[in-house]
Amino acid sequence: GSNEAAVPWFFVSPGQGSFLVPAGTAVGNSTLKIESGDSRWAFPTAIGATSPGIFTANGNGQGAPAAILLRVSPDNTRSTEFPFAAGASGFVAAPIRFGDDRLFLDLYATGVRGSTSVEVVLGTQAIAPLYAGAQPQYPGLDQVTFELPRSFAGAGRLDAWIVSGGVRSNVVELNFGN
């Protein structure tokens, strides 16, 4: 038999449409059907157990992550900042400075919740996240939180990605200055 589920759109633009794949959707080959007015489209698609992706500041899956950096000072004062800044042609990875603070990064992603294993790779180092699961505010949005190792201070630009259930996400860039 055929299982079909109607899903609401989160976002639609001329080049993109975002919706939440319902929990419990069968893994394997499927058909995505889209209807708009009198028009109908059908796209063959594959549903995987996980397909991690990190959201980026530029919205194209590349460059600096759309993330939040939590800074915790020695006296436990907390502040947040973004690890990206506006550049000449979009957002770029902004230098992350440690000072005397501990730094924690919240990456926003998809394809993380429900995974049996999640790790972050920063440069060549695998880091176990402190949290990997649903972001509580937005349906379908996942969050991966990890502490940035102080050993990366001054390391320059480094690639980072998530591995969820053995599947690697897109690569983003963090800038640790020099």
pLDDT value of residue 49? 75
Tokens of residue 148, six digits = 């940035």
92-111 b/e (C-beta count within 10 Å ≥ 16 → b): bbbebebeebebbbbbbbbb
pTM higher than 0.85 for the full model?
no
| Per-run averaged pLDDT (10 residues), the chain, 178 residues | 76 77 84 88 85 92 96 97 94 95 96 90 96 89 96 96 95 93
**Three-state secondary-structure class, residue 150:** helix
